[in-house]
Chain A
Amino acid sequence: MIKPVELWRIFKKGLVAENPIFKLALSLCPALAVTSNASKALAMGLSVLFVITANNTVVSLFRRAVHPKVRVPIFIMSIATIVTVVMLLLEAFKPYMYKDLGVYLSLIVVFAIILARAEVFASKNPVVPSFFDGLGMGAGFAGAMVLIGSVRELLGAGTIFGFAAVGAWYKAPRVIVLAPGGFLVIGLLIGAFNVYGGWRERRAQVAEGSAR
Protein backbone atom coordinates (compact mmCIF):
# COMPACT_ATOMS: atom_id res chain seq x y z
CA MET A 1 0.00 0.00 0.00
CA ILE A 2 1.30 3.45 -0.88
CA LYS A 3 1.39 6.16 1.74
CA PRO A 4 -1.02 9.09 1.34
CA VAL A 5 1.98 11.45 1.50
CA GLU A 6 3.41 9.76 -1.57
CA LEU A 7 0.08 10.05 -3.41
CA TRP A 8 -0.17 13.70 -2.49
CA ARG A 9 3.31 14.26 -3.91
CA ILE A 10 2.30 12.51 -7.17
CA PHE A 11 -0.86 14.59 -7.34
CA LYS A 12 0.79 17.88 -6.45
CA LYS A 13 3.54 17.86 -9.05
CA GLY A 14 1.01 18.37 -11.85
CA LEU A 15 -0.31 21.56 -10.28
CA VAL A 16 2.80 23.74 -10.35
CA ALA A 17 6.17 21.98 -10.58
CA GLU A 18 5.22 20.04 -13.71
CA ASN A 19 2.20 22.01 -14.83
CA PRO A 20 1.24 20.63 -18.28
CA ILE A 21 0.81 24.00 -19.94
CA PHE A 22 3.17 26.35 -18.10
CA LYS A 23 6.01 23.93 -17.38
CA LEU A 24 5.81 20.96 -19.75
CA ALA A 25 4.45 23.18 -22.55
CA LEU A 26 2.27 20.33 -23.76
CA SER A 27 -1.24 20.80 -25.14
CA LEU A 28 -0.70 24.45 -25.96
CA CYS A 29 -3.17 24.11 -28.82
CA PRO A 30 -6.29 23.90 -26.62
CA ALA A 31 -4.71 26.49 -24.33
CA LEU A 32 -4.83 28.86 -27.29
CA ALA A 33 -8.03 27.75 -28.96
CA VAL A 34 -10.50 27.25 -26.12
CA THR A 35 -9.53 30.02 -23.71
CA SER A 36 -11.24 33.06 -25.18
CA ASN A 37 -13.47 33.02 -22.10
CA ALA A 38 -13.30 31.46 -18.66
CA SER A 39 -16.41 29.23 -18.81
CA LYS A 40 -15.34 27.48 -22.00
CA ALA A 41 -11.85 27.01 -20.59
CA LEU A 42 -13.26 25.48 -17.40
CA ALA A 43 -15.51 23.05 -19.28
CA MET A 44 -12.61 21.98 -21.47
CA GLY A 45 -10.29 21.68 -18.47
CA LEU A 46 -12.75 19.44 -16.61
CA SER A 47 -13.29 17.22 -19.66
CA VAL A 48 -9.53 16.74 -19.99
CA LEU A 49 -9.22 16.11 -16.24
CA PHE A 50 -11.73 13.29 -16.58
CA VAL A 51 -10.23 11.77 -19.72
CA ILE A 52 -6.64 11.87 -18.48
CA THR A 53 -7.56 10.26 -15.16
CA ALA A 54 -9.67 7.56 -16.78
CA ASN A 55 -7.03 6.87 -19.41
CA ASN A 56 -4.21 6.65 -16.87
CA THR A 57 -6.27 4.12 -14.92
CA VAL A 58 -7.07 2.01 -17.98
CA VAL A 59 -3.51 2.09 -19.31
CA SER A 60 -2.14 1.15 -15.91
CA LEU A 61 -4.62 -1.73 -15.54
CA PHE A 62 -3.59 -3.22 -18.88
CA ARG A 63 0.08 -2.22 -18.73
CA ARG A 64 1.33 -5.80 -18.57
CA ALA A 65 -0.90 -7.00 -21.43
CA VAL A 66 0.24 -4.36 -23.91
CA HIS A 67 3.16 -5.26 -26.14
CA PRO A 68 5.76 -2.46 -25.95
CA LYS A 69 6.03 -2.23 -29.74
CA VAL A 70 2.39 -1.29 -30.19
CA ARG A 71 1.85 0.62 -26.99
CA VAL A 72 1.30 3.99 -28.68
CA PRO A 73 -1.52 2.86 -31.00
CA ILE A 74 -3.12 1.06 -28.09
CA PHE A 75 -2.88 4.12 -25.82
CA ILE A 76 -4.43 6.24 -28.56
CA MET A 77 -7.20 3.67 -28.97
CA SER A 78 -7.87 3.78 -25.26
CA ILE A 79 -8.02 7.58 -25.28
CA ALA A 80 -10.29 7.61 -28.31
CA THR A 81 -12.62 5.07 -26.68
CA ILE A 82 -12.88 7.07 -23.48
CA VAL A 83 -13.50 10.30 -25.37
CA THR A 84 -16.19 8.66 -27.51
CA VAL A 85 -17.91 7.26 -24.43
CA VAL A 86 -17.79 10.68 -22.75
CA MET A 87 -19.29 12.28 -25.86
CA LEU A 88 -22.10 9.73 -26.07
CA LEU A 89 -22.94 10.09 -22.39
CA LEU A 90 -22.83 13.88 -22.53
CA GLU A 91 -25.09 13.96 -25.55
CA ALA A 92 -27.52 11.62 -23.81
CA PHE A 93 -27.59 13.26 -20.40
CA LYS A 94 -26.32 16.85 -20.80
CA PRO A 95 -27.34 17.78 -24.35
CA TYR A 96 -26.83 21.53 -23.91
CA MET A 97 -23.34 21.14 -22.54
CA TYR A 98 -22.62 18.74 -25.40
CA LYS A 99 -23.81 21.33 -27.89
CA ASP A 100 -21.42 23.92 -26.47
CA LEU A 101 -18.41 21.63 -26.27
CA GLY A 102 -19.08 19.27 -29.15
CA VAL A 103 -16.41 20.44 -31.56
CA TYR A 104 -13.66 20.59 -28.98
CA LEU A 105 -14.44 17.29 -27.27
CA SER A 106 -13.34 15.12 -30.16
CA LEU A 107 -10.05 17.02 -30.24
CA ILE A 108 -9.17 15.74 -26.76
CA VAL A 109 -8.06 12.50 -28.43
CA VAL A 110 -4.97 14.16 -29.84
CA PHE A 111 -3.95 16.23 -26.80
CA ALA A 112 -0.28 15.53 -26.20
CA ILE A 113 -0.52 15.68 -22.43
CA ILE A 114 -2.83 12.65 -22.22
CA LEU A 115 -0.62 10.41 -24.32
CA ALA A 116 2.43 11.77 -22.50
CA ARG A 117 1.10 10.75 -19.07
CA ALA A 118 0.15 7.30 -20.36
CA GLU A 119 3.63 6.81 -21.77
CA VAL A 120 5.68 8.42 -19.00
CA PHE A 121 3.72 7.39 -15.95
CA ALA A 122 0.72 5.07 -16.25
CA SER A 123 2.46 2.42 -18.37
CA LYS A 124 5.10 1.98 -15.67
CA ASN A 125 3.17 2.43 -12.43
CA PRO A 126 0.37 0.66 -10.54
CA VAL A 127 -3.23 1.76 -10.79
CA VAL A 128 -3.58 3.96 -7.70
CA PRO A 129 -0.55 6.22 -8.31
CA SER A 130 -1.51 6.43 -12.00
CA PHE A 131 -4.98 7.58 -11.03
CA PHE A 132 -3.52 10.33 -8.85
CA ASP A 133 -1.00 11.30 -11.50
CA GLY A 134 -3.85 11.78 -13.96
CA LEU A 135 -5.89 13.68 -11.40
CA GLY A 136 -3.00 16.02 -10.62
CA MET A 137 -2.02 16.62 -14.23
CA GLY A 138 -5.68 17.12 -15.16
CA ALA A 139 -6.17 19.57 -12.31
CA GLY A 140 -3.02 21.45 -13.32
CA PHE A 141 -4.26 21.58 -16.90
CA ALA A 142 -7.76 22.72 -15.88
CA GLY A 143 -6.33 25.34 -13.52
CA ALA A 144 -4.03 26.71 -16.20
CA MET A 145 -6.90 26.80 -18.72
CA VAL A 146 -9.12 28.73 -16.31
CA LEU A 147 -6.29 31.12 -15.49
CA ILE A 148 -5.60 31.85 -19.18
CA GLY A 149 -9.33 32.05 -19.92
CA SER A 150 -9.97 34.47 -17.05
CA VAL A 151 -7.09 36.75 -17.99
CA ARG A 152 -8.15 36.85 -21.63
CA GLU A 153 -11.80 37.38 -20.81
CA LEU A 154 -11.02 40.08 -18.25
CA LEU A 155 -8.64 41.99 -20.53
CA GLY A 156 -10.43 41.33 -23.79
CA ALA A 157 -14.06 41.71 -22.79
CA GLY A 158 -14.05 43.14 -19.26
CA THR A 159 -15.97 40.18 -17.83
CA ILE A 160 -15.20 37.01 -15.88
CA PHE A 161 -17.36 33.92 -16.37
CA GLY A 162 -19.72 36.21 -18.24
CA PHE A 163 -20.20 38.66 -15.34
CA ALA A 164 -19.09 42.26 -15.75
CA ALA A 165 -15.91 42.72 -13.76
CA VAL A 166 -14.99 46.29 -14.65
CA GLY A 167 -17.04 49.36 -15.39
CA ALA A 168 -18.28 50.55 -18.76
CA TRP A 169 -15.29 52.93 -18.99
CA TYR A 170 -13.12 50.00 -19.97
CA LYS A 171 -12.59 49.84 -23.73
CA ALA A 172 -11.70 46.17 -24.18
CA PRO A 173 -9.01 45.52 -26.77
CA ARG A 174 -10.53 42.80 -28.93
CA VAL A 175 -7.14 41.41 -29.86
CA ILE A 176 -6.84 39.65 -26.49
CA VAL A 177 -9.84 37.45 -27.29
CA LEU A 178 -8.55 36.69 -30.78
CA ALA A 179 -5.76 34.23 -31.57
CA PRO A 180 -2.80 36.68 -31.25
CA GLY A 181 -3.97 37.60 -27.78
CA GLY A 182 -3.86 33.93 -26.85
CA PHE A 183 -0.18 33.78 -27.73
CA LEU A 184 0.56 37.01 -25.85
CA VAL A 185 -1.25 35.96 -22.68
CA ILE A 186 0.20 32.44 -22.60
CA GLY A 187 3.70 33.78 -23.21
CA LEU A 188 3.40 36.31 -20.39
CA LEU A 189 1.91 33.73 -18.01
CA ILE A 190 4.69 31.22 -18.74
CA GLY A 191 7.17 34.04 -18.08
CA ALA A 192 5.48 34.86 -14.78
CA PHE A 193 5.51 31.19 -13.86
CA ASN A 194 9.25 30.96 -14.50
CA VAL A 195 9.97 34.10 -12.49
CA TYR A 196 7.97 32.68 -9.59
CA GLY A 197 9.72 29.29 -9.90
CA GLY A 198 13.14 30.95 -9.90
CA TRP A 199 12.27 33.01 -6.86
CA ARG A 200 11.13 29.93 -4.95
CA GLU A 201 14.27 28.05 -5.87
CA ARG A 202 16.50 30.86 -4.67
CA ARG A 203 14.57 31.10 -1.43
CA ALA A 204 14.90 27.36 -0.91
CA GLN A 205 18.66 27.63 -1.49
CA VAL A 206 18.98 30.46 0.99
CA ALA A 207 16.99 28.48 3.58
CA GLU A 208 19.23 25.48 3.01
CA GLY A 209 22.35 27.63 3.35
CA SER A 210 21.28 29.14 6.66
CA ALA A 211 20.29 25.73 8.03
CA ARG A 212 23.82 24.45 7.52
Chain B
Amino acid sequence: MQAERPKASILRITLNLVAASLVSGCVIAGVYRLAEPRILDNRRMMSEEAMRRLVPGAAEFVPDGPNGRYEARSASGLEGYIVPAEGRGYGGTIKMTAAVSPDGKLVGFEILSHNETPGLGDRAAEKPFRDQFSGRAKGQLEVTKTGEAGKVEAISGATITSKAVAAALDKALGDLAASKGVKR
Protein backbone atom coordinates (compact mmCIF):
# COMPACT_ATOMS: atom_id res chain seq x y z
CA MET B 1 0.00 0.00 0.00
CA GLN B 2 1.21 3.49 -0.78
CA ALA B 3 2.22 5.42 2.34
CA GLU B 4 0.19 8.59 2.61
CA ARG B 5 1.64 11.16 4.98
CA PRO B 6 2.35 8.92 7.99
CA LYS B 7 1.52 11.46 10.68
CA ALA B 8 -1.95 12.17 9.37
CA SER B 9 -2.51 8.47 9.00
CA ILE B 10 -1.60 7.71 12.63
CA LEU B 11 -3.93 10.44 13.78
CA ARG B 12 -6.74 9.13 11.62
CA ILE B 13 -6.25 5.60 12.84
CA THR B 14 -6.28 6.74 16.45
CA LEU B 15 -9.41 8.83 15.97
CA ASN B 16 -11.03 5.94 14.19
CA LEU B 17 -10.41 3.53 17.04
CA VAL B 18 -11.41 6.09 19.65
CA ALA B 19 -14.67 6.78 17.84
CA ALA B 20 -15.44 3.08 17.47
CA SER B 21 -14.73 2.38 21.15
CA LEU B 22 -16.83 5.35 22.17
CA VAL B 23 -19.82 4.22 20.13
CA SER B 24 -19.45 0.64 21.34
CA GLY B 25 -19.13 1.76 24.97
CA CYS B 26 -22.19 4.00 24.75
CA VAL B 27 -24.32 1.29 23.17
CA ILE B 28 -23.38 -1.27 25.82
CA ALA B 29 -23.83 1.24 28.65
CA GLY B 30 -27.25 2.26 27.34
CA VAL B 31 -28.51 -1.30 26.97
CA TYR B 32 -27.08 -2.24 30.35
CA ARG B 33 -28.90 0.65 32.00
CA LEU B 34 -32.20 -0.46 30.53
CA ALA B 35 -31.68 -4.15 31.21
CA GLU B 36 -30.07 -4.03 34.64
CA PRO B 37 -33.19 -3.88 36.85
CA ARG B 38 -34.75 -6.82 35.03
CA ILE B 39 -31.50 -8.80 35.15
CA LEU B 40 -31.17 -8.31 38.90
CA ASP B 41 -34.83 -9.28 39.39
CA ASN B 42 -34.33 -12.41 37.32
CA ARG B 43 -31.22 -13.44 39.23
CA ARG B 44 -32.96 -13.00 42.56
CA MET B 45 -36.00 -14.88 41.33
CA MET B 46 -33.94 -17.75 39.94
CA SER B 47 -31.81 -18.25 43.02
CA GLU B 48 -34.91 -18.09 45.20
CA GLU B 49 -36.60 -20.63 42.96
CA ALA B 50 -33.63 -22.97 43.28
CA MET B 51 -33.71 -22.63 47.07
CA ARG B 52 -37.46 -23.24 47.15
CA ARG B 53 -37.00 -26.49 45.22
CA LEU B 54 -34.56 -27.62 47.91
CA VAL B 55 -36.60 -26.51 50.93
CA PRO B 56 -40.21 -26.39 49.73
CA GLY B 57 -41.59 -25.66 53.22
CA ALA B 58 -39.70 -22.43 53.78
CA ALA B 59 -41.48 -19.09 53.63
CA GLU B 60 -38.42 -16.91 53.37
CA PHE B 61 -34.68 -17.14 52.94
CA VAL B 62 -32.58 -14.88 55.14
CA PRO B 63 -28.95 -14.26 54.23
CA ASP B 64 -26.76 -15.72 56.93
CA GLY B 65 -23.17 -14.54 56.92
CA PRO B 66 -21.09 -13.37 53.99
CA ASN B 67 -20.50 -16.75 52.31
CA GLY B 68 -23.69 -17.00 50.30
CA ARG B 69 -25.37 -18.98 53.05
CA TYR B 70 -29.05 -18.62 53.80
CA GLU B 71 -31.33 -19.62 56.62
CA ALA B 72 -34.60 -21.08 55.40
CA ARG B 73 -37.36 -19.98 57.77
CA SER B 74 -41.04 -20.74 57.99
CA ALA B 75 -43.75 -19.75 60.47
CA SER B 76 -42.70 -22.61 62.74
CA GLY B 77 -39.06 -21.53 62.88
CA LEU B 78 -35.83 -22.65 61.29
CA GLU B 79 -36.36 -25.13 58.44
CA GLY B 80 -32.73 -25.51 57.48
CA TYR B 81 -29.76 -23.91 55.84
CA ILE B 82 -28.86 -23.30 52.23
CA VAL B 83 -25.11 -23.56 51.77
CA PRO B 84 -22.90 -23.23 48.70
CA ALA B 85 -20.57 -26.11 47.89
CA GLU B 86 -17.95 -26.57 45.24
CA GLY B 87 -15.37 -29.14 44.31
CA ARG B 88 -13.04 -30.12 41.49
CA GLY B 89 -14.66 -32.60 39.16
CA TYR B 90 -13.34 -34.28 36.04
CA GLY B 91 -13.73 -31.28 33.74
CA GLY B 92 -13.43 -28.36 36.15
CA THR B 93 -15.16 -26.85 39.13
CA ILE B 94 -18.58 -28.19 40.06
CA LYS B 95 -20.68 -25.55 41.81
CA MET B 96 -23.64 -26.59 43.92
CA THR B 97 -26.10 -25.36 46.48
CA ALA B 98 -27.04 -27.78 49.21
CA ALA B 99 -29.88 -27.75 51.70
CA VAL B 100 -29.04 -28.87 55.23
CA SER B 101 -31.52 -29.61 57.99
CA PRO B 102 -31.12 -27.77 61.34
CA ASP B 103 -29.54 -30.91 62.84
CA GLY B 104 -26.81 -30.96 60.18
CA LYS B 105 -28.11 -33.57 57.73
CA LEU B 106 -28.24 -33.13 53.98
CA VAL B 107 -31.69 -32.54 52.57
CA GLY B 108 -30.66 -32.29 48.96
CA PHE B 109 -28.50 -30.41 46.50
CA GLU B 110 -28.60 -28.82 43.10
CA ILE B 111 -25.74 -28.43 40.65
CA LEU B 112 -25.48 -24.83 39.50
CA SER B 113 -22.68 -25.18 37.01
CA HIS B 114 -20.31 -27.90 35.92
CA ASN B 115 -18.17 -28.98 33.02
CA GLU B 116 -18.46 -32.75 33.30
CA THR B 117 -18.62 -35.20 30.41
CA PRO B 118 -22.03 -35.23 28.71
CA GLY B 119 -23.71 -38.57 29.17
CA LEU B 120 -21.44 -39.64 32.02
CA GLY B 121 -20.49 -37.05 34.64
CA ASP B 122 -23.48 -34.83 33.98
CA ARG B 123 -25.72 -37.57 35.29
CA ALA B 124 -24.72 -36.35 38.75
CA ALA B 125 -27.54 -33.84 38.31
CA GLU B 126 -30.10 -36.61 37.84
CA LYS B 127 -32.44 -37.91 40.47
CA PRO B 128 -31.19 -41.47 41.10
CA PHE B 129 -27.76 -40.20 42.06
CA ARG B 130 -28.91 -37.11 43.93
CA ASP B 131 -31.51 -38.93 45.99
CA GLN B 132 -28.82 -41.04 47.63
CA PHE B 133 -27.61 -38.01 49.52
CA SER B 134 -30.64 -36.99 51.54
CA GLY B 135 -30.40 -37.71 55.23
CA ARG B 136 -26.65 -38.12 55.30
CA ALA B 137 -24.53 -36.29 57.85
CA LYS B 138 -20.88 -35.36 57.69
CA GLY B 139 -18.73 -38.49 57.50
CA GLN B 140 -21.43 -40.59 55.82
CA LEU B 141 -20.49 -39.49 52.35
CA GLU B 142 -18.09 -42.18 51.27
CA VAL B 143 -18.36 -43.23 47.62
CA THR B 144 -18.40 -46.88 46.56
CA LYS B 145 -18.11 -48.52 43.16
CA THR B 146 -19.25 -51.93 44.33
CA GLY B 147 -22.57 -51.03 45.92
CA GLU B 148 -21.53 -51.45 49.56
CA ALA B 149 -24.40 -50.75 51.90
CA GLY B 150 -24.56 -47.35 53.54
CA LYS B 151 -22.30 -45.66 51.02
CA VAL B 152 -23.00 -43.43 48.05
CA GLU B 153 -22.95 -45.45 44.87
CA ALA B 154 -20.82 -43.86 42.16
CA ILE B 155 -22.22 -43.18 38.70
CA SER B 156 -20.73 -45.83 36.47
CA GLY B 157 -18.09 -44.27 34.27
CA ALA B 158 -17.95 -41.12 36.37
CA THR B 159 -16.25 -42.02 39.61
CA ILE B 160 -14.25 -38.80 39.74
CA THR B 161 -17.39 -36.70 39.39
CA SER B 162 -19.21 -38.75 42.03
CA LYS B 163 -16.35 -38.42 44.49
CA ALA B 164 -16.01 -34.70 43.81
CA VAL B 165 -19.69 -34.09 44.53
CA ALA B 166 -19.62 -36.17 47.71
CA ALA B 167 -16.41 -34.55 48.98
CA ALA B 168 -17.68 -31.05 48.26
CA LEU B 169 -20.91 -31.70 50.14
CA ASP B 170 -19.00 -33.24 53.02
CA LYS B 171 -16.82 -30.16 53.23
CA ALA B 172 -19.85 -27.85 53.08
CA LEU B 173 -21.44 -29.75 55.97
CA GLY B 174 -18.19 -29.44 57.93
CA ASP B 175 -17.94 -25.70 57.26
CA LEU B 176 -21.51 -25.14 58.37
CA ALA B 177 -21.05 -27.15 61.56
CA ALA B 178 -17.80 -25.33 62.33
CA SER B 179 -19.22 -21.86 61.90
CA LYS B 180 -22.38 -22.68 63.85
CA GLY B 181 -20.28 -24.21 66.62
CA VAL B 182 -18.28 -21.02 66.96
CA LYS B 183 -21.30 -18.75 66.78
CA ARG B 184 -23.57 -20.49 69.22
Contacts and interface: CB of A to CB of B under 8 A. Distances in A.
Contact of A89 (B12, B20, B35, B45): B35
24 contacts: A36-B119, A65-B16, A65-B19, A67-B9, A67-B16, A74-B17, A77-B21, A78-B20, A78-B24, A81-B24, A81-B27, A81-B28, A84-B31, A85-B28, A88-B28, A88-B32, A88-B35, A88-B39, A91-B42, A92-B38, A95-B43, A95-B46, A177-B118, A178-B117
Interface residues of B, number: 26
A178 B119 contact: yes
A51 to B, nearest CB: 14
Given A70-B17, A77-B24, A92 B117 contact: no
Interface string A87-126: 0110111010001000000000000000000000000000
Given A69-B13, A174-B120, A80 B39 contact: no
Contacts of B38: 92-93
A73 B118 contact: no
Interface residues of A, number: 27
Interface in B52-97: none
B32 to A, nearest CB: 6
Contacts, number: 65
A85 B27 contact: yes
A77 B119 contact: no
Nearest to A75: B20
Contact of B13 (A70, A77, A80, A88): A70
Contacts of A66: 16, 20
B119 A174 contact: yes
A134 interface: no
A69 B20 contact: no
B91 to A, nearest CB: 11
Contacts of A99: 46
Interface in B30-50: 31-32, 34-35, 38-39, 42-43, 45-46
B74 to A, nearest CB: 27
Contacts of B20: 66, 73-74, 77-78
8 shortest A-B CB distances, which residue pairs? A92-B35, A92-B38, A95-B42, A81-B24, A67-B16, A88-B35, A74-B20, A85-B31
A152 to B, nearest CB: 10
Nearest to A80: B24
B17 A91 contact: no
A73 B21 CA distance: 10
A140 interface: no
Contacts of A129: none
A77 B21 CA distance: 7
Nearest to B1: A68
Nearest to A99: B46
Contacts of B12: 67
A157 interface: yes
A85 B16 CA distance: 22
B50 to A, nearest CB: 11
Nearest to B21: A77
A85 B46 CA distance: 21
Interface string A114-150: 0000000000000000000000000000000000000
B28 A84 contact: yes
Nearest to A93: B38
A45 interface: no
A110 B175 CA distance: 41
